[in-house]
C-alpha cells in the first residue's frame, strides 16, 4: 500500500524509525455503497470481554445521505467504556470510504470519543 511505501522510504532514505507495528488497520471495499472499517469489529470487541459502548446509526439519519437520496447502510462505532477511546468503526454507506478518516485520526491520536462529540462540523456532510 501507499502507507507501506512511505514507511520503507522514510527508513531507507530519511533515517526514519517508522514501523507498521503501531498502525491501526483500516480498509475500504469500493462497492456501491462503499464499506469502510477501522480497528476492531463488534464481534472482536464482544469476544475480548471488554465493557464497550456500541452505537449504530442508519444512513437514513444522515442529512447529506438523505439529500443525495443514498440512504442505504449504517454507521457503527465501538468505544471502550473505561477509557472512552474508540476501538473500531464501520461505515457502510455513501462516502463512507472518506468519512472513516475521522475515526482513523481520532484513534491514531488516542483521543476519547468526546473529542468528536463537541466538535463543530460542516452541515450537511457525511462525516458530521
C-alpha cell at 21: 507495528
Which pLDDT score is estimated for 78? 99
Which pLDDT score is estimated for 67? 94
Positions marked active-site: 123
Which pLDDT score is estimated for 16? 73
- List for the chain the helix, strand, coil content (%; round to 5): 35, 25, 40
Q: Is the pLDDT of residue 59 over 80?
A: yes
What pTM was computed for the model? 0.87
Alpha-carbon Rg for the chain in angstroms: 16
Q: Which fold has domain 23-117?
A: Enolase-like; domain 1 (3.30.390)
Find, among 70, 74, 78, 75, the residue nearest to 45 by Cα.
78
User: Residue 50 in contact with residue 80, Cβ under 8 Å?
Assistant: yes
The rounded distance, in Å, linking the Cα atoms of 95 and 72 is 11
Mean pLDDT (whole number) for 55-78 = 97
Q: Which tens digit of pLDDT belongs to each residue from 75-122? A: 999 999 999 999 999 999 999 999 999 999 999 999 999 998 888 888
Find, among 26, 42, 44, 24, the residue nearest to 99 by Cα.
26
Q: Is the pLDDT of residue 128 over 90?
A: no
The rounded distance, in Å, linking the Cα atoms of 98 and 36 is 8
Q: Is the pLDDT of residue 37 over 90?
A: yes
Mean pLDDT (whole number) for 25-53 = 98
Amino acid at each position: 500500500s501507499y502507507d507501506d511505501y512511505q514507511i520503507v522510504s522514510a527508513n531507507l532514505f530519511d533515517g526514519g524509525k517508522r514501523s507498521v507495528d503501531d498502525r491501526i488497520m483500516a480498509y475500504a471495499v469500493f462497492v456501491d455503497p462503499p464499506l469502510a472499517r477501522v480497528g476492531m469489529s463488534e464481534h472482536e470487541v464482544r469476544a475480548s470481554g471488554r465493557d464497550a459502548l456500541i452505537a449504530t446509526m442508519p444512513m437514513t439519519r444522515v442529512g447529506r445521505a438523505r439529500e443525495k437520496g443514498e440512504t442505504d447502510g449504517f454507521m457503527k462505532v465501538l468505544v471502550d467504556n473505561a477509557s472512552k477511546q474508540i476501538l473500531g468503526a464501520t461505515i457502510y454507506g455513501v462516502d463512507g470510504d472518506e468519512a472513516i478518516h475521522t475515526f482513523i485520526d481520532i484513534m491514531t491520536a488516542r483521543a476519547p470519543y468526546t473529542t468528536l462529540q463537541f466538535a463543530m462540523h460542516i452541515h450537511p456532510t457525511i462525516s458530521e
